[in-house]
Structure 1
Amino acid sequence: MLEDIFKDAEQRMKKSLDILRQELAGIRAGRASPALIEHIEVNYYGTPTPLNQLATITAPEPRMLVVQPWDRNAVSAIDKALRSSELGLNPAVDGQILRIALPPLTEERRRTLVKLVKEHVEEAKVAIRNIRRDALTHIKTMQKNKEISEDEERRAEERLQQLTDRYINEAEKLGKQKEHDILEV
């Protein structure tokens, strides 16, 4: 029974880290990355659709992204979605291809991006702590119902705390790496 609680908690903590990785991949560092725009929602025939489901996104140069839609009719919708995103992009439409030149990051923009990274890391840490809280509630309930002894409860709490610390450290490590990438000129 305790093992099920630990497995569930660990799976949920892994999911929190995976989400953090996705969010950090979408934050621009010094180089252009398809992950920067692949999750932008495009209004495709009245349905919000992620860009990576409508087009091929490549980074042929360090400061250039190329979007090649599979459907010619989607070019204007993709252009509109990219322009209205909070990324401040200005794509150039070249027939059926959109070229996005990414300007170099200013110092102010780098600081803003670092702040955003810290917010995402903090959200992940809060999610991990909430998972720990849920697991602790289950463990305490088991002890109240006399399914486990007080010693087993204490050992389970210590093991859960070690698991939590491991995932929080991993989240911080991901954040530090991304900050380093952003601040690197």
Structure 2
Amino acid sequence: MIKDIMKKADEKMNKTVEALKRELASMKAGRANPAMLDKIEAEYYGTMTPINQLANISVPEPRVLAIQPWDKGSFKAIEKAILKSDLGINPSSDGEMIRLVIAELTEETRKNIVKNIKKDGEDSKVAVRSIRRDCNDKIKVLKKESDISEDEIKKAEDEIQKKTDAFIKQVDKIVEAKEKEIMSL
């Protein structure tokens, strides 16, 4: 029973860290990154479809994203979706390809992005701690319902704390790396 609780905690904490990585990858960081378009969907034959499923996305230059739709009929829908998005980039097209030029970040914009990165990191840490709390609660319920010894309970609580500490360090490293990336551009 305790092993199941630990396994589920590990899975949930991993998912939290992966979600943070995806979130930070999709942030506009002054450098072209196809992940910036992951959350943007265009209407394609009446269905909202992610742009990366409608087109080939490449990075021909460090500050340029090139989007080449597979179906010419989706061209206008993709442009419209990018304009509506929170990217703040105006697409330019030549009829064959849509180009997104990512502007240089100002110092103030960088500081705001770093602030958001730290907030996302804190949110992830709160999620990890919440998972720890849920596990400890489940362990306490097990203690009352079954004949598990105090030593096993204590060992399990120590183990979940070690997992929590490890994942929080991982979140800190991810946030720190992204912060360095933003401030060094």
TM-score in terms of structure 2 length? 0.96
Q: How far apart in 2 are the matches of 1:38 and 1:10? A: 26
Instruction: Please state whether the residue corresponding to 1:96 is helix, strand or coil.
Output: coil
Instruction: Please state whether the residue corresponding to 2:11 is helix, strand or coil.
Output: helix
Q: How far apart in 2 are the matches of 1:179 and 1:81? A: 28
Give me the identity figure in percent.
46
Q: Which position in structure 2 is the counterpart of 1:81?
A: 81
Q: How far apart in 2 are the matches of 1:68 and 1:25? A: 21
- Corresponding letter in the other structure for 2:88: G
CA drift of 1:49 comes to: 1.3
Determine if the alignment matches structure 1 residue 25 to structure 2 residue 25: yes
Cα-to-partner distance string for 1:20-40 (whole Å, 9 max, x where unaligned): 111110112242111111331
Alignment of 1:78-117 (within 5 A): 78-117=78-117
Give the unaligned 5+ runs of structure 1.
Answer: none
Give the unaligned 5+ runs of structure 2.
Answer: none
Determine if the alignment matches structure 1 residue 57 to structure 2 residue 92: no
CA drift of 1:146 comes to: 3.2
Q: How far apart in 2 are the matches of 1:60 and 1:158? A: 50
CA drift of 1:142 comes to: 0.6
- Corresponding letter in the other structure for 1:152: E
Instruction: Please state whether the residue corresponding to 1:136 is helix, strand or coil.
Output: helix
- Corresponding letter in the other structure for 1:120: D
Q: Which position in structure 2 is the counterpart of 1:16?
A: 16
8 A contact 1:30–1:181 mirrored in 2: no
TM-score in terms of structure 1 length? 0.96
8 A contact 1:55–1:68 mirrored in 2: yes
Instruction: Please state whether the residue corresponding to 2:90 is helix, strand or coil.
Output: coil
CA drift of 1:46 comes to: 2.2
